[in-house]
């Protein structure tokens, strides 16, 4: 593996591992027995809300000032957030820095995908990158559970250290190899304009406004709105389960067992993504199959956690392949794909928070069953 790939791949592995290392220890981060479910959900969701809010504007900024600068900012913010989370026990501080960690994620991914698209072996590199993305997610929950006995934040500290090493690589000459002297299209184009026009175009707000207008038209005049809604529901229901399962399973799963169960979902997603990509099925059937598997996993979570998380991961991995294919039939631009990804983060961010309002009157099992039934309502949505 060459140095530029090592720099980018180590960054995505550390970033994703750190993001998921909180999941098995959410009750402890929320204050243990004195903590509330709402606080636990807030710490979980803060990351995804930060990513949801920042993905589009920081993607535009990467076009303006260059991908490498935005990637460096994203990883520095990730490492800083990990450092504070490692040493702070105040739930409000943890929630704030989980949000900032999500902003780091929102900075990293649009710029990283843009860099990968420029490489000669972009298709192979995208496959390797996505493999390590899921590997980082799996490693985060697995090692968080396994190392909880050593220290409740041992995994968080470990992935923060890896994020720090990635920052050093990005700031060194190795980082320059990623995208040497390369800026986004918008930035390059503006260089040829008059000084007055160029100065006006450096403002991000007018461009962001035009993107929001375009997003509104795309969402309501095509099937993208339906696809976006399906992704919100899929990731909202599975995110709700992930955010609350540590509390729910405390009486029958140890931290290592919990970490293993959740990590299985990411391994299953890696496998099902490959199978769905090669399956001789249209995207509608792929989405439906994925939804059935994910809903079955949520139902099984109250009795068979290992099998449940395998189904959830397999269903999510397959459904996303079908949903991305559906988006590409409407618009294959990076903007459309970015808009689709905001649906994923919106679901992961809002699902656990909304679910916490119903947890008190309904209880865990009823809430999980209800979310599975809600997920199955996707079958009433018709995609062209």
Q: What is the pLDDT of residue 237?
A: 95
The fourth-level CATH superfamily of domain 218-384 is MFS general substrate transporter like domains (1.20.1250.20)
Q: Is the Cα torsion angle 241, 298, 322, 329 positive or negative in sign?
A: negative
Residue 182 binned pLDDT confidence (cut-offs 50, 70, 90): very low
Q: What is the pLDDT of residue 101?
A: 96
Position 190 pLDDT exceeds 50: no
**C-alpha to C-alpha distance for 64 and 205, rounded to whole angstroms:** 12
**Mean pLDDT along residues 174-202:** 49
- Pair 320, 277: CB distance under 8 Å: no
Q: Pick left, alpha or beta for residue 172 (phi over 0 → left; psi -120 to 50 → alpha; otherwise beta).
A: beta
Token reading at 354:
């909304």
Q: What is the pLDDT of residue 324?
A: 79
- Pair 230, 381: CB distance under 8 Å: yes
**C-alpha to C-alpha distance for 164 and 75, rounded to whole angstroms:** 8
Greater model confidence, 240 or 123: 240
Question: What letter does residue 331 receive in the DSSP assignment?
Answer: -
Cα-based distances in Å from 76 to 82, 96, 132, 150, 249? 10, 16, 20, 27, 34
- Pair 47, 167: CB distance under 8 Å: no
pLDDT, one tens digit per residue, over 19-65 is: 999 988 888 888 765 556 778 888 888 998 999 888 888 888 887 88
Q: What is the pLDDT of residue 382?
A: 79
Residue 180 binned pLDDT confidence (cut-offs 50, 70, 90): low
Greater model confidence, 189 or 293: 293
Q: What is the pLDDT of residue 102?
A: 94
Position 204 pLDDT exceeds 80: no
Cβ-Cβ contacts under 8 Å for 147 (sequence gap 6 or more): 154, 155, 158
Position 307 pLDDT exceeds 60: yes
- Pair 33, 40: CB distance under 8 Å: no
Task: Kindly list the domain boundaries of the chain, sorted by start residue.
Answer: 1-202, 218-384
Residue 119 binned pLDDT confidence (cut-offs 50, 70, 90): confident
Position 78 pLDDT exceeds 70: yes
Q: What is the pLDDT of residue 189?
A: 39
Which of 229, 211, 215, 225 has the alpha carbon at shortest distance from 346? 229
Token reading at 363:
């209880």
Residue 46, Cβ density class (10 Å: 0-12 exposed, 13-18 middle, ≥19 buried): buried
Q: What is the pLDDT of residue 19?
A: 93
Cβ-Cβ contacts under 8 Å for 351 (sequence gap 6 or more): 45, 235, 236, 237, 238, 239, 240, 243, 371
Greater model confidence, 81 or 113: 81
Range with lowest mean pLDDT among 61-70, 86-95, 135-144, 288-297: 61-70
Q: What is the pLDDT of residue 155?
A: 94
Token reading at 204:
């991000």
Token reading at 174:
């190795």
Residue 273, Cβ density class (10 Å: 0-12 exposed, 13-18 middle, ≥19 buried): buried
**Mean pLDDT along residues 90-98:** 92
Residue 332 binned pLDDT confidence (cut-offs 50, 70, 90): low
**C-alpha to C-alpha distance for 312 and 304, rounded to whole angstroms:** 12
**C-alpha to C-alpha distance for 350 and 356, rounded to whole angstroms:** 10
Topology of 1-202 in CATH?
Growth Hormone; Chain: A; (1.20.1250)
pLDDT, one tens digit per residue, over 357-380 is: 898 899 999 999 999 999 999 888
Greater model confidence, 282 or 232: 232
**C-alpha to C-alpha distance for 375 and 293, rounded to whole angstroms:** 11
Proportion of the chain above pLDDT 90, given as a percent: 35
Q: What is the pLDDT of residue 83?
A: 97
**C-alpha to C-alpha distance for 162 and 143, rounded to whole angstroms:** 14
**C-alpha to C-alpha distance for 90 and 84, rounded to whole angstroms:** 10
Q: Is the Cα torsion angle 116, 121, 125, 127 positive or negative in sign?
A: positive
Other C-beta atoms closer than 10 Å to the C-beta of 118 total 12
Phi, psi of 13 (to 5 degrees): -65, -45
Work out the mean pLDDT of the chain and round it to a whole number: 83
Q: What is the pLDDT of residue 317?
A: 87
């Amino acid at each position: 593996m060459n140095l530029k790939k090592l720099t980018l791949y180590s960054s995505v592995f550390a970033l994703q591992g750190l993001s998921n290392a909180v999941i098995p220890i959410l009750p402890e981060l929320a204050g243990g027995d004195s903590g509330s479910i709402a606080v636990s959900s807030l710490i979980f969701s803060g990351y995804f809300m930060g990513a949801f809010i920042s993905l589009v504007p920081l993607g535009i900024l990467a076009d303006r000032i260059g991908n490498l600068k935005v990637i460096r900012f994203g990883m520095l913010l990730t490492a800083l957030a990990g450092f504070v989370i490692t040493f702070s026990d105040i739930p409000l501080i943890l929630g704030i820095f989980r949000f900032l960690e999500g902003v780091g994620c929102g900075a990293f991914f649009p710029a990283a995908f843009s860099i990968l698209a420029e490489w000669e072996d972009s298709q192979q590199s995208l496959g390797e990158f996505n493999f390590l993305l899921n590997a980082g997610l799996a490693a985060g929950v697995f090692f968080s559970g396994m190392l909880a006995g050593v220290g409740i934040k041992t995994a968080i500290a470990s992935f923060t250290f890896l994020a720090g090493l990635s920052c050093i690589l990005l700031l060194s000459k190795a980082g320059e190899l990623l995208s040497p002297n390369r800026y986004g299209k918008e930035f390059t184009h503006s260089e040829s304009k008059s000084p007055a026009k160029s100065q006006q175009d450096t403002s991000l707000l007018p461009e962001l406004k035009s993107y929001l207008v375009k997003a509104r038209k795309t969402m309501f005049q095509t099937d993208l709105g339906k696809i976006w809604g399906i992704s919100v529901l899929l990731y909202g229901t599975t995110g709700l389960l992930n955010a609350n399962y540590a509390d729910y399973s405390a009486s029958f799963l140890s931290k290592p067992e919990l970490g293993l169960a959740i990590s299985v979902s990411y391994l299953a997603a890696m496998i099902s993504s490959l199978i769905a990509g090669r399956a001789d099925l249209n995207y509608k059937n792929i989405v439906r199959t994925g939804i059935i598997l994910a809903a079955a996993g949520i139902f099984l979570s109250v009795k068979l956690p290992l099998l449940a998380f395998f189904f959830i991961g397999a269903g999510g991995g397959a459904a996303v392949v079908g949903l991305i294919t559906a988006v590409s039939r409407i618009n294959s631009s990076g903007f459309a794909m970015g808009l689709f990804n905001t649906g994923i983060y919106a679901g992961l961010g809002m699902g656990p928070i909304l679910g916490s309002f119903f947890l008190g009157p309904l209880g865990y099992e009823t809430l999980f069953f209800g979310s599975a039934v809600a997920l199955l309502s996707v079958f009433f949505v018709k995609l062209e």
